[in-house]
Amino acid sequence: MFVSTVYDCVTGETVEVHHDEAPEVERRLIPKSVIQERVHAVGKLGAAFAVLQADPISFGRWFAPDWPNVYFDDEGLRAVLAEAGCTEAEIATITA
């Protein structure tokens, strides 16, 4: 059982809502250019590029011209960032 806390704007009260299943998380798309800027900001752009160069599949996925965005929770993105030496806190900042 999962519990969510929501604000009831009619009564002004906070109410607990019980669910049988975990609520779905909306998958957000982030432009890859934003990801690149954030990776650069944490000082890991060179390392991330080296990881991509070592893996042709990841390299191809990242530089595909017809797909300029990436999902914030993309496992491949998170794996590249981790292999590039990003901490969990940095990954959270980059994919925010």
Instruction: Give tens-digit pLDDT for 25-74.
Output: 788 999 999 999 999 999 999 999 999 999 999 999 999 989 999 999 99
Q: How confident is the model at residue 82 (pLDDT cuts 50, 70, 90)?
A: very high
pTM of the predicted model, to two decimals?
A: 0.72
Task: Decide if 69 is inside a domain.
Answer: yes
Task: Decide if 40 is inside a domain.
Answer: yes
Task: Decide if 24 is inside a domain.
Answer: no
Task: Decide if 50 is inside a domain.
Answer: yes
Task: Decide if 6 is inside a domain.
Answer: no
**CA distances to 3, 5, 12, 24, 25 from 20, in Å:** 9, 15, 25, 12, 15
67: three-class secondary structure by DSSP:
coil
Neighbouring residues of 3: CB distance < 8 A, sequence distance ≥ 6: 16, 17, 18, 19
Task: Decide if 57 is inside a domain.
Answer: yes
CA distance 15 to 17: 6
- Domain tally, the chain: 1
Determine the structural domain holding residue 43 and report its residue range. Answer: 29-94
